[in-house]
Structure 1
Amino acid sequence: MKPTVKNFSSTTTQLCGECNGEGKVWKAGTKTHGEDHSRYVECTLCSGTGMLVVTKDTTVTITPHKPKPVPPEV
């Protein structure tokens, strides 16, 4: 299989682990006078997008070919 440009991309996206891709998290609040102040707030890790951009480390190893033998001069 021939490598493509996609194989060498330095970034990729993945779902946010904090909000599970929803973009918001449940913030527990306090109860005052019978009112509950808990609510959904924007996820601070992904800024409400639900996705994270992750950089990949790519290591390329270059192996030289065996050099061709040089014929002796006459």
Structure 2
Amino acid sequence: MSNSEPSNQELSERIDTLEMRLTFQDDTIETLNQTITAQWREIDALKRQIALLVERLEDAQSNAEGPRNEPPPHY
């Protein structure tokens, strides 16, 4: 065996390191996925609230009396 080839021990250590990194990355991906899912739920709730507020505003504007052509009370 030449010096340029890694030993079985070195290969085993590299594999262990890669497996640990993969496990950590899998956990990170799962955490990010949960965070994104929670954010999308919150965004959906906020969109519904905005739609409700727009509807209420439109109703209030349509039910509001228009400006009167009366002179101000101080005349």
Q: When the two structures are superposed, what TM-score results if normalisation uses the length of structure 2? A: 0.32
Which of the pair is proportionally richer in strand? 1
Pick the structure with greater CA Rg. Answer: 2
Which of the pair is proportionally richer in helix? 2
| Larger RCO, structure (CA 8 Å, separation 6 or more) | 1
